[in-house]
Structure 1
Amino acid sequence: MTCSINDMGGILPLPFNTAYTASKFGATGHMKALRMELALEKQHNIHVTTVMPSFLDTNDEISQMVHAIKADRVYPLIKWKSAANRIVRGMLAGEREIKLPYFVDTFHRILK
């Protein structure tokens, strides 16, 4: 099992953060290419998961800023324990991509 912790910047471009966005798209593309290589080599016992969370409640400065500007009313931070549980469940289930929260996946599909 292989897992890459990326972030939603790997599927949704972030304006004014082009270098950051490029690195995240690169990490996502790398994992997709690795999955394709494993499939072509018939390595079905190796699973590759890319995790793309939005902001997690792991940094006190981010948490304080989000609370101060009241952004948490519209966009709550993801609790680290919930994220960890979801990631492990997804990896064990063989999911290719895990987007947190789920609406990130829906938003990504709309923008395609």
Structure 2
Amino acid sequence: MPRYAVPANSDDEQELAAVFGSAVNLSIIRELQRHSPRTLGDLTEALAIGPSTVASRVRELEAHGVIIGDPPRASRKQGTEASLSLDDVVIQRLLSQLEHIVSGRKSA
């Protein structure tokens, strides 16, 4: 007998939870909507959150495609500061998925 039921769209829901399910992530997204591009240092200072927390959350948001770094993470040398901004197309896709889940409609 399974311990938990797995929703039919669990991958979409897990991605939404990973991106929007944290107050720190939402603060980073909000700051990048208001002031972009920003560096990790800028975000740390603006949000008054520890640098390791901001760095790990930015990595997570980059992995989901929500944040774009220039230069991209894959080609960034250690110690190189990147200009970070939001990928508006990815944000809109995720918000559309959330709207479909909340309203009970299937996503496109």
Q: 1 or 2, which has the higher strand percentage? A: 1
Q: Same fold (TM over 0.5)?
A: no
TM-score, with structure 1 as normaliser: 0.30
TM-score, with structure 2 as normaliser: 0.31
